[in-house]
Structures are given as C-alpha cells and as structure tokens.
Amino acid sequence: MVSSEGLIAPLPPPQAAARQYGVTKPISTAGPTEADIQRTLELEKFLVDAGLYESKEDADKREEVLQRIGQIVKDWVKQLTRLRGYTDQMVEDANALIFTFGSYRLGVHGPGADIDTLCVGPSYVNREEDFFFILHNILAEMEEVTELQPVPDAHVPVMKFKFDGISIDLLYASISLLVVPEDLDISDVSLLYDVDEPTVRSLNGCRVADQILKLVPNIEHFCTTLRCLKFWAKRRGVYSNVTGFLGGVNWALLVARVCQLYPNAVPSMLVSRFFRVYTQWRWPNPVMLCAIEEDELGFSVWDPRKNPRDRTHHMPIITPAYPCMNSSYNVSQSTLRVMVEQFRYGNKICEEVELNKARWCALFEPYLFFESYKNYLEVDIVAADVDDLRAWKGWVESRLRQLTLMIERDTLGMLQCHPYPHEYVDMNKQCAHSAFFMGLQRKQGEKTQGQQFDIRGTVDEFRHSINMYLFWKPGMEIYVSHVRRRQLPPYLFPDGCKRPRPSRIMAQQQADKLPYDDGEVSVTGSGERHLKRKKDLDGVDVNQVMPLEKRQSLSPQPRDSVSPIIISDKASSASPEQSDKGFSMEVVESNKRTLSGETEPEYASNSSTITNVTSKGSCDDAGFGSVAVSSEGNTRSVEGSSVGSNNPGYLQGDVCEADSESLSDNGCGNGNLRQDGSQEALEPNAAFGMLLNSNEGVNSEQKAVIRLSLTSTA
C-alpha cells in the first residue's frame, strides 16, 4: 500500500501485533477458540460474583481521597518552605505530588483494598523528620485519619493509615530538585541521581508498575488474569510477601511473563498457561520481563555473576525498572516448596476445566491448612490494647519468616515449615491478641531412625530478634508453642468447631502427597510444678491469652536460658495411635520478659513457662541417637545469604526451548555467565530463562556445628 506521497504506508495492525514482548520469543501466538472465549466469559462472571470488583461509588470515593491527600502534602511542603526562610516565590512554587502503584495503579484492586501511594517532594524536605514527624502530626490531628502507624525502619519506609475509611500506604521520596514540576515523569532515570537506597526503593514501586503495563501485549487481558490469580493465591494461602510467599508485585510479574509468552491468549487460556509454565519452571531460573541493564548511576542490580548474595535466591522474579532487583528475595526453600505444590494443584484443576470435567469454582477451593499437617507451631502475640497490638503485630509478623529460615538453617533443611499467612483471633479472649501458625513436617523423601533436631538456639535467636523492637511497651509479649492437629483450638474453624477427620479419599490424597507420616508429637518437661499467675506491668493478664487443651504447666527456665524445641524421629512406634507413628517433637519454651505463670484447670497459658503435654511414647523412646544442630559457626545470615559461596568461576546456563503448548523440552543450548565483568547479556535465549548452576537450587556453602547429645528426662 502506497500513500499519497509515494511512500510505503505503515503495516496494518495484524502485522504490528508481531512485536516480540520480553526477552525470548513467545511459546505460542495462537489465538482463542470458541471454547476458550466461552470459558473466559464464565471466568469473568465468577470473578464478578465473587465480589472482586468495586462499585462506581467506591471508585469515586477513592479518587476523592487521593485528591485530598494530594492537597495535604502540597500544603505541608509549602509550610516547610515558608518555615525555612525561602522566598515568597519559592513558597508559591513549592510542590509535592502523589503517585499510585501496586494493585490500584495496575487496575486490579478490589473492594476494601488499600491504596499504595508515593509522595514525591523537593530535596530540602526529608523523610526522617519532615515526613515521619511533621506530616505524621498533621495527619494525626485530622478527624478523617485513623489507625495511623508509621514504620520508619521498614525495608521501604512507610506510613500506614486510614483516610475516611480507605486504607493508605504512603511512601516518601525526596528527589534532587528544588521544585517538583506538575508533569514529573516518574520513569525518568535521572530522578535516581543523588538519592539514597530507601528513596530508590520507594520510587521503584511506581516505576515498576508503569513498566509492567508497557511490557504486556494486552493490558485488559493482563488485568483480568492477574485479578484471578491474586484471588487464587489468597484462597490457597500463598499470598504474602512478608511471610515468605509472593506479594502483589511478584504475582503481577509472573502473570506479565506468561502474557508475553502467549501474546494472543485470552484470560482463560492465560490462567491455564500460568500453571502449566510455573509447574515446569526450573527454579532458580529468573523470571524477567526485559533485559537487565546497568546504568552509570552505579546502583547494584541483580547479577549472580557478581553478587554472591544473589546466588542464594530461590525464586528470582526480577523487576523491569532500573535498578533491576529480585522482588522475591523473601522466598525460602520451604515456601517455594509450598508454592510449587499449589502450582501443580492449579494445573490439575485447569486441565479438568479444559476437559469440561470441572468448573472454575473448583480452582478457588480454600486450602485446608489445618488438615494438612499433624504438627504445628503456634505464635501468639499479645498487647495491652488494640493500638499497641497493631504496632507489635506488624513488627512480629515482619520477622516470622526469619523463624522459617532459622529452622531450615539449623536443621539443614530436614525439618520443613509451612508458615500460613493468615491471622487468627479468639473473640472470647479478654485482651488484645492474635495468632499465627506454621505447619511442620519431616523433609519428604527422608526417613531416619532415632534422630533429633535440637532447635533451642533457633527459638532463642528468634526471640532475641523480636525483643529488639525499639518501641516495646509493657504488655507486648510473644509466645511460641507446639500443638498437635487434634489439639487445635475451635476458633480456627469458620463454623466455630473443629472439622471432622478427613475422609478416606482425602487421607489417601495426603498419603500420596507425603511419603512418610508426620507421626506423634509429645511435649514433655522435667517434672510437674505449680506456678503463680503472671501479670504484666499494666495489669494485663497475658497468661490467659492462648489456652491449649490438656496442658500442664512446669516451672520456667531462667530468663537467659535457651528454649529447647526438640524434634525427634523415634526409632520405635510406642504411640498408641496408628496414625501418629515415627515422629515426635519436644517443645519447651521460655520468654525473655516473663518469669512466672499459672494454669487453669483445663488450659495452660502460652507464656514463658515450660509447657507440658504428656503422651505415651515421649522423646525418651528415641534413646541415645539424638542429633542437636547448633547455629554456632554458621556463616549464613538469617536471610540465607552466603559469604564465600561454593560456586565455579562462571554459572552454566542450561536453557531449553519449550513446545508451544506442552512446554516439553525439544532441545537445549548452553550459555555461560562470566564473573569477569564482561558485558555478556543476562537474558536467556529460550522461554524459561537461565539455570543458575543447579536444578535443585543455588549452591552455597553450608556450615553448621553438629553435636551429639544424650536424651534424658531427669
């Protein structure tokens, strides 16, 4: 086709759609069939019926709230400009802008969701005093503002509050400009000049969201698919960055990559391909939407060739905006295992949906966490009042994943943890408290006789990190205890009572999933003694917080003693219960601040006492074959970083092309990633990315002191 000027006109839209998205060619460019379109309509109807879309009235209210906050920060900056003696013209020009990111910016937020916001201010308005003190006080005096909670020491410093009932997470970034223009381009790399790391992380939330929307073939299909998979992740208990799973930006990046691999697919196809791709993904291959680029500004980017810490990441999901970072560094071996299992579950259901053997509602069945394990760790958090609990709980929850990492480290991965990212509250309790739970099981495929994992130091180290809270107040306490499945409190279940035992079909499914039974758990101590009731400094009875059935209380250990939590794999089957053989756990606990406690007739408090539940076949049956794993001499940090990792001079990338529909490997090609500083491209030459030296995980030097000990109950 020729234009009036005799030049070749632009190609028609179908040809323009051939643009390649992402670092590799698409797996398939096939469009939807009639069946795919019908399944998409059914999926969208399900999402609407599930209440995932907000009303127009709610959307308008959010816009009004954002405008109000925008005006507040403008007035705040003008006030500071005047107080610091700038000219009247500077005061008039002084400005601050509000940007959004996260689910609201991507268009996938639902009713009641918070709004992630960023305030960008001039260079002379700082975060430490001006934002977290002066602006905080301005907000605190406003009637519309409730539940104001500053978190200045977070990885990304944030101020949380509700404005007229709308939850707001407000970040602040001071850029190197005296006046912030109204038309500021947040994607401009020059904004990162002469700013600190927290400012870069604050700015990158908006920059990443904008880049994601630019890198997907169809924004509408991307949004529908992401909304669906976020709902699925919450139902299946794998939506929580702070707990070690994935948060909103992580799920957005995973979905965006699938959209790139299937550029013409509709949402029903994309959901199915999502599970197909990530069921077969060879972690720690990184998920990347674009090539990783370095810039002259000198910020560190994710590069396992140069950064030993990057080699320890289990599930790298790389942000597309400079400086490119791993957004999923919180993922541990345990949480990755859980997510892969859930990907397989989703893949199985989607295959049945495509064969008309199941409906979409089956995909969103809630995960039955309290029927999946026989042993649990219960973490109870208490405070004097609701306001103290909110601050205390935020601190503790942000450190819960450290407990998972510590247990992985100190048991050399033999004891697997499943932290559940849901908070539970017993409404019958008098004081402010909440509870979190972790499922425990032996590493699948491992069966040993007479072995114990002594994690007393693990719990003590975790307690020490919790007690570093700078804003601790009397009444703020944390208790860690062990419960067996049959001892779980009734308030954990929606109907107020425990569910019946799993059916034979469910039991068989669990048996297929777990090759070895978790076995019996016994909580034992040295002898029975009586204790006095403990009151905190404000008179709050924290020993009444989390009663556990059929417990007896023993005398507490000294304040600085180590709390033994001993997981024992018994050589004998002394338990009278056929379903609880071969595995036992001993949990003896203490608390730094609490030195005494009292029990009620049917309950024992979850305090600093040594709690005791007696059952036949205790840890004594394990005999002398116990192994205590100490954290002494361990060179890895809590976050799993490794210094002096045992890696070769280069990382071998074994990448394979995938079949357009089945993702089966058709062939392989090798690519070397050097550590000599050469500018060799990081992006893979096939759909799955690059493989970092191992199909099992990233190699790192693991050092631990293992000491043998004798088991006794003197």
Active-site amino acid positions? 103, 114, 116, 169, 230, 239
Half-sphere exposure of 158 (CA within 13 A, CB side): 19
Which residue shows structure tokens 């990443």?
A: 208
Q: Is 295 exposed, middle or buried (0-12, 13-18, 19+ CB in 10 A)?
A: exposed
The bridge status of strand 665-674 relative to strand 650-658 is antiparallel
Q: End-to-end CA distance of the chain: give it in Å, rounded.
A: 93
3-state secondary structure of 616: coil
| Contacts of residue 190, Cβ cutoff 8 Å, sequence gap at least 6 | none
* Contact (Cβ atoms closer than 8 angstroms) between residue 202 and residue 222: no
Q: How far apart are CA 178 and CA 105, in angstroms?
A: 27
Q: How far apart are CA 167 and CA 61, in angstroms?
A: 12
Give the DSSP H/E element, type plus range, for residue 16.
Answer: helix 13-16
Structure tokens at 183: 């038309």
Structure tokens at 600: 């009620």
Phi/psi at 484 (nearest 5 deg)? Answer: -90, 160
Q: How far apart are CA 357 and CA 610, in angstroms?
A: 52
Q: Across the chain, which distance is largest between two alpha carbons, in Å?
A: 99
The bridge status of strand 97-101 relative to strand 115-121 is antiparallel
- Please work out, in degrees rounded to the nearest 5, the angle formed at the alpha carbon of residue 563 by the alpha carbons of 429 and 522: 75
Per-residue DSSP letter, 134 = I
